[in-house]
Amino acid sequence: MPHSWWRTGTVYQIYPRSFQDSDGDGVGDLEGVRRRLDYLVWLGVDAIWLSPFYPSPMQDFGYDVSDYCDVDPLFGSLARFDALVGEAHAKGLKIIIDFVPNHTSNAHPWFLASKSARSDPKRDWYLWRDPAPNGGPPNNWFSHFGGGAWSWDEQTQQYYLHSFLPEQPDLNWRNPQVRAAMHDVLRFWLRRGVDGFRVDVISHIVKDAAFRDNPANPGWTGEGPDIIRLAQTYSSDQPEVHDVIAEMRRVVDEFDDRLLIGEIYLPIERLVAYYGKELQGVHLPFNFQLLDARWNAAEIGRLIEKYEAALPQGAWPNWVLSNHDRPRIAARVGSAQARIATMLLLTLRGTPTLYYGDEIGIGHVDIPADRIQDPWAKREPDVGVGRDPSRTPMQWDAGQFAGFSTREPWLPLTPDRETRNVATMRDDDSSILALTRKLLHYRRERAPLNKGEWRLLCSSDDILAYERVSGEERAFVALNFCSEPRSCALPTTAGATITISTHGGRCGEAVGTVLCFRRDEGVLLSSP
């Protein structure tokens, strides 16, 4: 298997609303991203994944698309997009865009046609069903954003399915015309030069043909969002989805060296099926296990081993710590352990995805009630599902709006923005930004890190240590998950020297058979 860019490289996720505003409306845009490309080159990432920028009523901030082949004026224009791709490529950066196949916006012309009449040629492009015999919804499925997954259409007297908001009707992927139309969307962007797609909720796009009721979730404790009350037995991860994905893959393979990433929240055994038969599914089924893992060295050691063991022959791993839907890593484990997490992410085997703002350690941001934006938070206000705290603007400098915009941004900045920003942290060798950059550059240069094998050396409650090996070359990583100093016997590292410490300093220090850590410290060692 050749080591193409998406294997050795690092992906950086940008939520376009929150990266850089260029026109003073308080919302980030594509021109803003273009202006910050040099920063990404400096940082040392290889590819950018852009969350949606398509025309949209923004009910779900762009994940409700009303035209798959254009750019929302809020974010720019196709010309701005082309400029961004052109300049990114000139600087050696790849561009991955978000593809949202499960649902459109209810303002999409396809849905407007579909709901206009039962006889409309596009009626079957969406999932319309008669009421149950009692007049209620066709089955018991819940929406991911609270409440039932079916909405009633008065005019045509049927229900339509929406796995998310009522404003996000689900497409019918069993209909060949839908598949053909969506394949043309992929080709539209591939021809414009995009290097790949991150495919939104790809495991949901095919539903049970008979729309059977979902069974109760045996693990439900009576709390939490509606969606977890039932097991998603019939509403997601259907066997037929794999053929649909293989077809998508063939479209992407009409072009050279392009990438398909799938957003899939499933247990490992079911997740790895998304590599597809003979690896003809998505190249990278997003591996989200670190998002939920208990922050304990032994637990994480087990999880990595289990994942490595479950990978099909030839399948390439990948790792994610944060994204726009989940709490940021520093919000979850605190700012000291966020460094451990960064070292972990950037030294495991497989493609890392780094979420914008994690490199400056943005933690939890309180969102005052009157500034809540997330539709999920608004629909299920009592269950703590709000995603706004993970979507706050990138902080570039100590200026009034952190260099993000010239006016109050759409979501608040962090209270510590005067010090937690790129300009202040980039020259501080002990900052998480400096650490992230060192790791990214080191990873890129060193074969053990960007393609070597992974082997566990030791995992206790507090210490996780592993080695990465490529031919004769070796790197060791040892992480202290505890906020006390620790030491650990590691015979294999004898004679190695410290290359990077999570807390700066120690570079060049030789280690014996016992490795000493400061509190919350991780070290990367290279063999003599």
Catalytic residues: 200, 254
The answer to the question of residue 29 lying near Mg ion (CB under 5 A) is: yes
Beta bridge partners of 198: 98, 261
Out of 10, 11, 15, 27, name the contact with Mg ion by CB under 5 A: 27
- CB nearer to ligand GLC: give 169 or 334: 169
Cβ-contact 452, 442 below 8 angstroms: no
Count of CA atoms in the C-beta half-sphere (13 A) of 157: 2
Residue recorded with tokens 């998406």:
6
- CB nearer to ligand GLC: give 99 or 466: 99
Provide the minimum distance between the beta carbon of 303 and ligand GLC in the complex, in angstroms, as a whole number: 22
204 contacts: CB under 8 Å, gap ≥ 6: 102, 163, 170, 235, 236, 237
Provide the minimum distance between the beta carbon of 480 and ligand GLC in the complex, in angstroms, as a whole number: 33
Beta bridge partners of 478: 465, 523
**CA 395, CA 373: separation in Å to the nearest integer?**
19
- CB nearer to ligand GLC: give 63 or 396: 63
The answer to the question of residue 200 lying near ligand GLC (CB under 6 A) is: yes
The answer to the question of residue 164 lying near ligand GLC (CB under 6 A) is: yes
The answer to the question of residue 325 lying near Mg ion (CB under 5 A) is: no
Provide the minimum distance between the beta carbon of 374 and Mg ion in the complex, in angstroms, as a whole number: 19
- CB nearer to Mg ion: give 73 or 176: 73
Residue 84 phi, psi dihedral angles, 5° rounding: -65, -45
Provide the minimum distance between the beta carbon of 451 and ligand GLC in the complex, in angstroms, as a whole number: 29
25, interface contact from ligand GLC, Mg ion, none, CB < 5-8 Å by kind = Mg ion
Angle between helices 329-345 and 432-445 (to 10 degrees): 30
Angle between helices 241-252 and 176-191 (to 10 degrees): 30
The answer to the question of residue 170 lying near ligand GLC (CB under 6 A) is: no
Provide the minimum distance between the beta carbon of 52 and ligand GLC in the complex, in angstroms, as a whole number: 8
Handedness of CA 59, 63, 67, 70 (dihedral sign): positive
Provide the minimum distance between the beta carbon of 456 and Mg ion in the complex, in angstroms, as a whole number: 46
The answer to the question of residue 60 lying near ligand GLC (CB under 6 A) is: yes
The answer to the question of residue 23 lying near Mg ion (CB under 5 A) is: yes
**In whole angstroms, how far apart are CA 498 and each of 25, 275, 340, 501, 520?**
46, 36, 15, 7, 16
The end-to-end CA distance of the chain, in Å, is 29
213, interface contact from ligand GLC, Mg ion, none, CB < 5-8 Å by kind = none
The answer to the question of residue 182 lying near ligand GLC (CB under 6 A) is: no
Question: What is the footprint of ligand GLC within residues 249-308 (CB under 6 A)?
Answer: 263
The answer to the question of residue 410 lying near ligand GLC (CB under 6 A) is: no
- CB nearer to ligand GLC: give 149 or 201: 201
60, interface contact from ligand GLC, Mg ion, none, CB < 5-8 Å by kind = ligand GLC
**CA 128, CA 408: separation in Å to the nearest integer?**
42
Measured from the Cβ of residue 491, the count of other Cβ atoms closer than 10 Å reads: 9
- CB nearer to ligand GLC: give 324 or 438: 324
**CA 95, CA 423: separation in Å to the nearest integer?**
25
Provide the minimum distance between the beta carbon of 175 and ligand GLC in the complex, in angstroms, as a whole number: 20
Tell how far CA 466 is from the center of its chain: 25
Provide the minimum distance between the beta carbon of 105 and ligand GLC in the complex, in angstroms, as a whole number: 10
Point out which span in 13-21, 116-124, 271-279, 349-357 binds Mg ion (CB under 5 A). Answer: 13-21
Size of the chain in residues: 528
The answer to the question of residue 316 lying near ligand GLC (CB under 6 A) is: no
- CB nearer to ligand GLC: give 199 or 362: 199
Question: What is the footprint of ligand GLC within residues 95-124 (CB under 6 A)?
Answer: 100
Residue 497 phi, psi dihedral angles, 5° rounding: -120, 150
325, interface contact from Mg ion, ligand GLC, none, CB < 5-8 Å by kind = ligand GLC
Selection from 159, 199, 166, 260 nearest residue 68 by Cα: 199
The answer to the question of residue 201 lying near ligand GLC (CB under 6 A) is: yes
446 contacts: CB under 8 Å, gap ≥ 6: 473, 475, 526
- Widest CA span in the chain: 77
Instruction: Give 103's DSSP letter.
Output: B
The answer to the question of residue 325 lying near ligand GLC (CB under 6 A) is: yes
Select the residue whose beta carbon is closest to ligand GLC and give its number. Answer: 63
**3 state SS of 104:** coil
Out of 6, 21, 259, 316, name the contact with Mg ion by CB under 5 A: 21
The answer to the question of residue 63 lying near ligand GLC (CB under 6 A) is: yes
Residue recorded with tokens 């940082």:
43
Question: What is the footprint of Mg ion within residues 87-146 (CB under 5 A)?
Answer: none
**CA 407, CA 24: separation in Å to the nearest integer?**
6
- CB nearer to ligand GLC: give 142 or 466: 142
Which residues of the chain form contacts with Mg ion (CB under 5 A)? 21, 23, 25, 27, 29
